[in-house]
Amino acid sequence: MKRLTVGSMFAGIGGIDIGFEQAGFKVKWANEFNTKSCETFRNYENFRDIKLFEKDVHDLKTCEVESVDIITSGFPCQAFSVAGYRQGFDDEKGRGNLFFETARFINDLKPKAYLLENVRNLAGHDNGKTLEVIKYNLVDKLGYSFIPFILNSKDYGNIPQTRERIYIVGFRNEADIDYDYDKKELNSESATRSFEIPDPIPLEKNIHDCIYHKKQDEKYYYKKEHQYYPILESEMKRRDTIYQWRRVYVRENKSNLCPTLTANMGAGGHNVPLIIDDYGIRKLTPKECLNFQGYPENYHFPEKMANSHSYMQAGNSVVIPVIKRIANAIREALNAQ
């Protein structure tokens, strides 16, 4: 059977692409504007045959890219995030309108399906009006169905990180078909009703499956003379949990889970999770942050990539096992037709 093809918008370092590749798809092209993220993307040996367009999406013409079966888009979430400016489509920095660039590619390339990924807060932003605008464009203007759902990686990806994200899936020429959230069995009359949102799965991994137990580079450890060391030493007692320094206090994340990794880990390092190992108190390394996103072991940041960029890229990424499960569900829905 011919492999379904994918075009990836706002690809970052390729988390969504890896998830689809692991599900049996073929990623044909990707677009990413951030130069440092592109360096990391290109550093992964499995991506060597993917055409990467390193340019502002506004300058990328749809005639430049190959037609594909699926378009994926992790369009920038700052405009919709609680941590951002909450300005949505009116974001003064122009980030909110990047959704419309995704819509442009869907309109011109007419893929069989799409997958959008964003922060959970997108669902309730501006009292739900932002999501309604997105739905109106995809359904009423472009003729696709609209299936939004929220998944947490700890419940759907067997990854010990609390990370809730909204995912939106839709299928071409099915704008008049509503998704049945209460269905008891597959309905093959349409891809929309054949699609199955992944069910929860047991969390079998814990934080020790994602961290390295050998001594890490000294730069990740807090020295005793560090101004925060006394309070860290006082508050951090357990090795089976992850802590965060929140500028004025230490927060313990219980239940053997990693807190949500964020892009601003790369902005001063205050939000980088902390652990205790045999050698002292230290930050998670960027590679360990990738582990908490479900990246394969052979995925590495470029050797000379600054930690600030590496942390930001890891925090901006996705939980790959969750993406893989969604990709499998898309493929099965399309194959049911």
**Catalytic residue chosen out of the listed positions 38, 63, 77, 258:** 77
Q: How many structural domains compose the chain?
A: 2
Q: Which residues pair with 245 in a beta bridge?
A: 250
Say how far apart CA 208 and CA 240 lie, in whole Å.
8
Q: Which residues contact 49 (CB under 8 A, 6 or more apart)?
A: none
pLDDT of residue 92: 63
Q: Does residue 236 share a domain with residue 182?
A: no
Q: Does residue 218 share a domain with residue 141?
A: no
Amino acid at 211: I
pLDDT of residue 18: 98
Say how far apart CA 207 and CA 272 lie, in whole Å.
15
Q: Does residue 92 share a domain with residue 241?
A: no
Q: Does residue 93 share a domain with residue 175?
A: yes
pLDDT of residue 85: 55
What's the pLDDT tens digit per position in 107-133?
A: 999 999 999 999 998 888 778 888 898
pLDDT of residue 277: 95
Q: Does residue 151 share a domain with residue 269?
A: no
Q: Where in the sequence is the domain holding 250, given as residue range(s)?
A: 207-315
CA torsion through residues 321, 323, 329, 330, sign: negative
* Mean pLDDT, the chain cut into blocks of 10 residues (337 residues total): 93 98 98 97 96 95 97 80 60 73 96 96 84 92 97 98 97 94 77 96 96 96 92 91 83 86 75 93 96 98 95 96 98 91
pLDDT of residue 314: 96
SS3 content of the chain, % helix, strand, coil (to 5): 35, 20, 45
CATH number at residue 145: 3.40.50.150
Say how far apart CA 102 and CA 197 lie, in whole Å.
22
Q: Does residue 325 share a domain with residue 296?
A: no
Assessment of whether the complete model's pTM goes beyond 0.85:
yes
Q: Does residue 252 share a domain with residue 144?
A: no
Q: Does residue 307 share a domain with residue 166?
A: no
Does 210 qualify as catalytic in the annotation? Answer: no
pLDDT of residue 271: 80
Say how far apart CA 329 and CA 94 lie, in whole Å.
33
Say how far apart CA 42 and CA 183 lie, in whole Å.
42
Q: Does residue 240 share a domain with residue 306?
A: yes
In the block, which residue shows the tokens 């044909």? 28
Q: Does residue 302 share a domain with residue 158?
A: no
Q: Are 153 and 260 in contact (CB under 8 A)?
A: no
Q: Does residue 145 share a domain with residue 269?
A: no
pLDDT of residue 126: 79
